[in-house]
Structures are given as C-alpha cells and as structure tokens.
Amino acid sequence: MSLRDRKRARTRQSLVDAAVELFERHGYDRTGVADIAAAAEVGTRTFFRYFPSKEALLFPESDDRVRAAVEAIADRAPDEGPAEVLLRALRTATTGSEDMGGRLAALRLRLIREVPVVRGRALQLQLDAQREIARHLAAAYPDQLDAVSAAALVGAFVGAVTGALQVLLEDPDRAGDPAAVQEAMRRATEVALAAWLPATPTR
C-alpha cells in the first residue's frame, strides 16, 4: 500500500473504532455522525468520503467479502467445485480479520436486533451479496448450476455463516476468540454444503 492508502485505511479504521466506542457508551440513536467524526478527529465532510451513513460503519468489510468470493470464483482450479470455491473464499475473507467476531461483530448483531435501520442495512447487504456471488457462480459453472441452483447454494452458504455467528456471538467465552469463530463457520458451512462437496474417501 502507498503512504496515501495507509493514511486512508487508518482514518477509516479510526471512524469505525470511534463509532463502536460511542454506540456502546451512548447508544446508537444518541450518537450522530458529527459525534463520530469528532471522536476520530476528522470533519463530517471527511466522514462522508468514507461512509455514506452511520449504520454503514457497522459493516466495514462487507464489500471485501463479496470481492473475495468473486476473486475465488475467477481463480478456481480446474477440479474445484462451486462449494469448494465458496469455502476457500470464506477462509480468505476471514483470515486476519476481526469483522466476523469480537467486539464489532457482537455490537452489530445486537443492533441488528434492536435498530430497524441497521437491520434493514444488514438485510440489503446480504441480499446484494448473495445475488452478486450467485451470478458469478452460475456463469463459472454453467454445466452444474443454473440461476436458481446457484442462488440456493449461495443462500445455504450465507445462511450457515449467519447462523453460526448468531450462536457464537451470544457466547462471550467464544465470541472474542477468532479461532473459535473460524472453526464454527467452517463446520456450519460444510454441513450446509455437504451435498455439493466431494465425498471423503473411506479407509
């Protein structure tokens, strides 16, 4: 990354960190964009160069996960099936990232339940992601998937990740453990996609 890119990444992360701190301390509704910008020591105009709204701060890596899935599909090996590609994309997107577990993820889950605008944002992002990934998957595997089966496969995959995270983030002993989060998501997605995965040879 260039110096400019690193500075932008730091500013972006500062805004996310400030939002998490203020949402937890004062509540989502009592925290405004100006409050978050001030805590991150930037102006409100700078805030809107990074995020379109305060609820967007709760989903800072959603685009990265979609991009990881699309890139995994594009870079697939000749013998790699659609379910295997999705599992590889999940590993890539979650390695070294705390977005799916820990403090931010737990806060996001709570606010999705409590705040309608956050819940709406989460649903829209999920639907958009599923549609985009399924479109690329169907195009990559025309002999195995049509639009409906690709959508079903991606829906099962996303649902498994979501379900695992909901259970984990309600358990404070495991929510802050990245290894436990990754292992739970791996197990959940393998269960959901079992019919699409190669059979394990018996010994």
What are the structural domains of the chain? 3-52 (1.10.10.60), 59-196 (1.10.357.10)
23-62: pLDDT as tens digits: 999 999 999 999 999 999 999 999 999 999 999 999 988 8
Higher pLDDT, 200 or 78: 78
Got the DSSP string for the chain? --HHHHHHHHHHHHHHHHHHHHHHHH-STT--HHHHHHHTT--HHHHHHH-SSTGGGG-TTHHHHHHHHHHHHHT--TT--HHHHHHHHHHHHHTT--TTSSHHHHHHHHHHHH-HHHHHHHHHHHHHHHHHHHHHHHHH-TTT--HHHHHHHHHHHHHHHHHHHHHHHT-HHHHT-HHHHHHHHHHHHHHHTGGGSPPPPP-
95-151: pLDDT as tens digits: 766 667 678 888 998 899 999 999 999 999 999 999 999 999 999 999 999 999 999
